[in-house]
Structure 1
Amino acid sequence: METTHTHNCSGEQGHNHDHGHSHSHGKSPVILFFTGLALFLVAFFVKEGTILQNILFVGALLLSGYHIILEGIVETVHESREKRKFIPNVHILMTLAAFGATLIGNYEEAALLILIFAAAHFLEEYAEGRSKREITNLLKMNPTEARLIQADGRVKTVDVSQLSIGDKLQVLNGDQIPTDGRILSGTTSIDESSINGESIPKEKTVGDDVFGSTINGSGAFTMEVTKDSSDTVFAKIIQLVNQSQSNLSKTATKIQQLEPYYVTTVLILVPIFIAVGPFIFDWSWNESFYRGMVFLISASPCALAASAIPATLSGISNLAKRGVLFKGGSYLANLATIKSVAFDKTGTLTKGKPVVTDYYFLTDTNEQDYIDIIVAMEKTANHPLANAILTKFTSKKNLELEVENKIGKGLVTEFQEEIYQIGKPEIFSNVNKQITDHNKQYAKEGKTVVYFAKDSKVIGLIAMMDVPNEHAKTVISYLKSQGIHTTMITGDAELTGQAVGRQIGIDEVVGNVLPENKAAIIKEQQNRYGSVAMLGDGVNDAPALVTADIGIAMGDGTDIAIDVADAVLMQNDLTKLSYAHATAKRLDRVVWQNIIFSMMIVVLLITLNILGKMDITVGVIAHEGSTLLVILNGLRLLIPTKSK
């Protein structure tokens, strides 16, 4: 068991010291701790009050508290020199309290104090390590080798770092995919859970993208490398995780900043407390010194220092397991305080691809005949609207037509000596009133319409729309239930945005927005509502994501959006936003529960001490017990958040 100390009690975890003092203790403190514990237990089998028993207690204190004492002294000296002012930590309080108890002959209590404090210390390290392991379980696979297809066709195993964009790789069944790329030949299914948390393998074939660290199924394929190993999705996720380990929540940071002042105040108050004890409380000097040591223990901010960080890391790891990655605890903590959320429309609130929603033909012939002609014409086109039409309609006759895409006329073909056209409404003049009425209705609904004409007379129309994401309405409803204002920002026409907005129940729609103006809208929202979050997926969303208090990128979005965002929804699943917000609210409650509880314990112990109702043993157990409860309360964030 290797233990890496991270200063939970001293409020130092996650704080990256410039001097690189990482405190990787290795196994020695653990061995010394259990050796000291053994001496402590043996002491109870020795005659009470003898020199041998006292030596065993002192030995237990020194061995079990070796790293506590060392860090208390060394860290205080080092930090004080670096900052050029006195910067004590909580370890120095525990060290002084233990030696003070020894001076007045309470060897057993001194050893017990250090033993419980050290045990709590190791538990805090375990708690933080548990949170970090929960995060990295999502990212446990780190590809190292690849099967490179050389120019002569032979396959050579090389290190992933040697790969270049354009290299051809062979991936066999069961292989770990070494880097991001595109399939050139072959069909397979791939487990992409390490990237998006989705447990069901995805079917992949020629032209599909594949991601490094994911696991190939039963098929074999060849692929082309499309990204440098440092720019892969997996590499970006690791970067996110590394950032989340070191970026603490604002509450945690404030606690860390206040701790040296708090400890300094206690160190000043203790001698004053001891000095005035005989005069105010009529204690003997021995009793006053004893009460001073109990005061020292009771006032230690160990539980306060552990209030936020284990809880924050647990919350981050909870979300990471479910495909929501935060770059740091501050962003997760701040998510609980947002007053407004702005969404990009296309690809965020909508699916990003148009679908046919309505169609209408004049009934002077068989509708299917028209569909056969439309499908044959659209098969020759290569644009999203054609894809939407071909997805909607199925032909019964496989017609082979010569189709031209004429500027100003759209798609044109000749069939059975008749000219057929598909194009925008504005290029047609001979339009039936029924067609016009349908077009007006569909336009009001924000739909894009194309006309279908025979011999220049419009005989039908097809309406298409980028339909809402299936989860958009649920998420908007959740946010409104939390009193959060919702806004859609879109470059589309106001009418189109309003149509989508009505379907999902959004509060406000801002249409015809140029990419460079999105950030200005976020600033205006901040002035109106306060803290604002922004969700987007494109390059044009990047300035707004940076401007927002919390920028959230969709995982299928562009690299630049993911790079600048503070959090990523890996599966493009909007419901993860609701889950993240609910988890952030839980985190806020747990942290404040911990802070209030820890300070109440401090006040209670100090009061009981002044009243003479508590000794060192009770103080040690109560104080360290409160620290353990705070840690365990924080670990509750590892449990899935209940949906509202």
Structure 2
Amino acid sequence: MINMSHEHTAHTHVSSCSHSHSDQHEHGKTPIILFFVGLAIFIISFFLPAGVWSNSFAFATIILSGYHVIIEGFQDTYVETKRNKKFTPNVHVLMALAALGASLIGDFKEGALLILIFSAAHFLEEYVEGKSKREITALMNMNPTKARLIEPDGTIKVVDVSKLKIGDHLQVLNGDQIPTDGKILTGYTSIDESSINGESIPAEKTVGDEVYGSTINGDGTFIMEVTKDSSDTVFAKILKLVNESQSNLSKTATKIKRFEPKYVTAVLIIVAIYIIATPYLLDYTFDQSFYKGMVFLTVASPCALAASDIPATLSAISNLAKRGVLFKGGSYLSNLSDIKAIAFDKTGTLTEGKPKVTDVHFIDTVNNQISFYSDIIVAMEKKANHPLANAIIESIVTTTDLDVTIENEIGKGLITHYNKHTYRIGKPSQFTQVPKDIEKFNNQYTKEGKTVVYFSDNDDVVGLIAMMDLPNPKAQKVINYLKQAGVHTAMITGDAKTTGEAVAHSLGMDQVVGNVLPENKSKIITQLHDEYGLTAMVGDGVNDAPALVKADIGVAIGEGTDVAIDVADVVLMKNDLTQLSYAHRLSKKLDKVVMQNIVFSMSVVLLLVTLNIFGKMNLPIGVLAHEGSTIVVLLNGLRLLKPLH
């Protein structure tokens, strides 16, 4: 995995709290310092005698602790009103007016308390969401920088990839990172292309085959011709897509966010009407009317509403963190309950990420030699350096440890000579005379998405071995849960469609898209979003990065590459897919708890406002009842710390 040290920022989805500025402002340390200075002054005010000094200290708290709330409240209201071409206030404005209104009628400490509660929630949200711009230095570090250029006189010169031109000839040694896209002129090798297509099984390449920059060469050495400019390679397109996706991020408004401007506008209008109308309707003096108006503004201030989401979301995030599920922002957990479609990468996500032997078949006439053939096959594969070799060695039981010498011949596979017999292991296409029995099983296994190799004795095919990257045992439970929850499930894979369909069919998935290059993965995410709505993506490789960024919620597998983890919004650290369904269930519960809090907080506000209209409410009682409702909302949110059963 790539070592990196850079910051992550969540997509700029609107936060689940009601602070509209959270995606627009960068705060330094000054507002936080002022907040704590204001808090200290507020505490000191309680030790001062009632009067000018006590009130001055409380008012200083409003100015210092509420500095950013007041400034941004009016600034954001102006900006959003101008942008939307209609009055679009936020809770900051209401909080600022409520605190100042309380001060106007002499209740400085109540105003200070309101500001402190709201400001604390605001900073808490910023801490959770994070404000630094997502960087992609880890992805950049994987971009090849050097190439072995073959000069006209045949000498080799190491040059920067940026200096390569189309038509240049390059030498690629075993284990090298392929510097750019091109085609093989001479040589034969196997190449790990997982950084491009996610395929766990290396691709065998020979003359005329295409190779891609950033992929890793295996044991062979070859000469290649550059066919693309370094800025136009497949890997360069991945970088470009990730960059573009970060600068074109969609915002998903939460329930509170959508409700906020309407609520604030209504309160401001009602307060103005209340102050003007009550002297005529209820025979109040103007001073009494103004006092009642300030009480109204205070009890209508949305402390409980603002606390409806953040504490509950933090509790749920903490619950999930204990289970190894990390969310990089509360909005993603809030929005997870609303997903309509979810796409999965295949290799390493829905599957175990490495091939295993699933079937071994020998023709009937060699039953008495199966044990010996197994010894020969394992002995040959032990001398090969290939993932398929490891799968065969781990799966086939031997009785005798044989020592053989192998040859890896282009177009023929592994060959060894033992006791005057020639044994060969290779692709089915390398053999001409094949028993019908073997062909039948080859066709069957191939349709099942398995990779098949033949084993021959003196050019007579006597057996075959089928291998496959098997489904993750926990994937079945997750897919079943998502289907029951009404979420459309799709697989996006760089593998052949038949291979993907085999895995998807066994898991009961709704859709399979195969032969997909990274630059097309994000397009498929867009298509899913257009057709179904809010879409999530689960992946583990560099090739998944553009799709993870493009998705409304990107989920990375913890054992995947650092790049996937960095650009994702959710990370399953324990590589346990079942935690995804747990997170979805908890998100559903979070949605219910938040709605309960909203209904409760607004009901309390409605009750207090009604009592105020009929003269049954004063400011101290209003603040006490109002803050009491906030505590109830906080405690309700803390229930999400408890594990789900």
Is TM (by shorter chain) over 0.5?
Answer: yes
Q: Tell me: CA distance 1:286–1:402, structure 2 relative to 1, closer, same or farther (3 Å).
A: closer
> Would the aligned equivalents of 2:345 and 2:491 in 1 still touch at CA under 8 Å?
yes
My pick for the range that moved more, 346-355 or 314-323, is 314-323
Residue 311 of structure 1: how far off its partner (Å): 2.9
Give 1:535 shift.
Answer: 1.5
Match of 1:584 in 2: 587
Is contact 1:249-1:332 (8 Å) kept? no
**CA distance, structure 2, for counterparts of residue 607 and residue 58 of structure 1:** 33
Give 1:566's match in structure 2, choosing from 566, 569, 572: 569
Q: With structure 1 as the length reference, what TM-score do the two structures score?
A: 0.69
**2:85 alignment partner in structure 1:** none
- CA distance change for structure 1 residues 82 and 545 in 2, over 3 Å: closer, same or farther? closer
Report the secondary structure of 2:353's partner residue: strand
Q: How far apart are residue 415 of structure 1 and its match? A: 1.3
Does 1:599 pair with 2:596?
no
Mapping of 1:210-609 within 5 angstroms? 250-251=253-254, 254=257, 258=260, 266=267, 269-285=270-286, 287-362=288-363, 363-609=366-612
- Find the counterpart in structure 2 of residue 617 from structure 1: 620
| Conserved? CA contact 2:374–2:398, under 8 Å | yes
Q: Structure 1's 533 and 271: CA in aligned 2 closer, same or farther, altered over 3 A? A: closer
3-state SS of the aligned residue for 1:22?
A: helix
| Cα pair 1:10 1:91 within 8 Å, conserved | no
Which residue of structure 1 lines up, in the alignment, with residue 32 of structure 2? 23
SS in 2 for 1:250: coil
How far apart, CA to CA, are the structure 1 residues paired with 2:47 and 2:251?
Answer: 37
Asked if the contact 2:62–2:112 (Cα under 8 Å) also holds between the matched residues in 1, the reply is no
Identity score, percent: 52
**Closer, same or farther: CA 122–470 of 1 in aligned 2, 3 Å:** same
Match of 2:93 among 89, 113, 116: 89
Which whole-Å deviations, capped at 9, do the CAs of 1:376-432 have from their partners, x for residues lacking one? 111111111110000112432221111111222211111111111111122223333
Query: Alpha-carbon deviations, 1:538-572, whole Å to 9, x = none?
Result: 23222322332222222222333334333322232
Q: Is 1:72–1:89's contact at 8 Å kept on the other side of the alignment?
A: no
Cα distance in 2 for residues equivalent to 1:540 and 1:93? 51
SS in 1 for 2:32: coil
From 103, 113, 127, the counterpart of 1:99: 103
Give the whole-Å Cα distance in 1 for the aligned partners of 2:55 and 2:20: 24
* Cα distance change of structure 1 residues 72 and 519 upon mapping to structure 2, 3 Å threshold: closer
Distance 1:432 1:604, change over 3 A: same
2:70 pairs with 65, 68, 76, which one?
76
TM-score (norm 2): 0.69
1:602-630 CA-partner distances (Å, limit 9, x unpaired): 22211121122323332111111122222
Structure 1: where are the runs of 5+ without partners? 1-7, 40-54, 103-109, 136-242
What is the CA-CA distance between 1:119 and the residue it aligns to? Answer: 7.5
CA distance change for structure 1 residues 248 and 314 in 2, over 3 Å: closer, same or farther? farther
3-state SS of paired residue (1:23):
helix
Extract unaligned runs of 5+ from structure 2. 1-15, 80-88, 131-245
CA distance in 1, matches of 2:572, 2:274: 54
Greater mean deviation of Cα atoms: 285-294 or 360-369: 285-294
Specify whether residues 266 and 533 from structure 1 end up closer, same or farther in structure 2 by C-alpha distance, changes over 3 A only.
closer
Task: Report the CA distance shift for 1:251/1:451 in structure 2 as closer, same or farther (over 3 A).
Answer: same
1:628–1:249 Cα change, 3 Å: farther
8 Å CA contact 2:128–2:328 kept in 1: the answer is no
State the Cα distance separating 1:467 from its structure 2 match.
Answer: 0.3
- Could you list the per-position Cα deviations for residues 204-235 of structure 1 after superposition, in whole angstroms to 9, with x for gaps in the alignment? xxxxxxxxxxxxxxxxxxxxxxxxxxxxxxxx
Equivalent residues of 1:9, 1:305 under 8 A apart:
yes
CA contact (8 A) 1:345 1:489 kept: yes
Match of 1:67 in 2: 61
**In the TM superposition, what is the alpha-carbon distance from 1:587 to its structure 2 partner?**
2.6
Alignment check: 8 A CA contact 2:296 2:609 kept: yes
Indicate how the Cα distance of structure 1 residues 92 and 444 shifts in structure 2: closer, same or farther if over 3 A, else same.
closer
Q: Secondary structure at the match of 1:411?
A: strand
The answer (yes or no) to whether the contact 2:312–2:637 under 8 Å persists in 1 is: yes
- TM-superposed CA distance for 1:359, in Å, is 0.8
If asked which structure has higher relative contact order (CA below 8 Å, sep 6+), I would say: 2
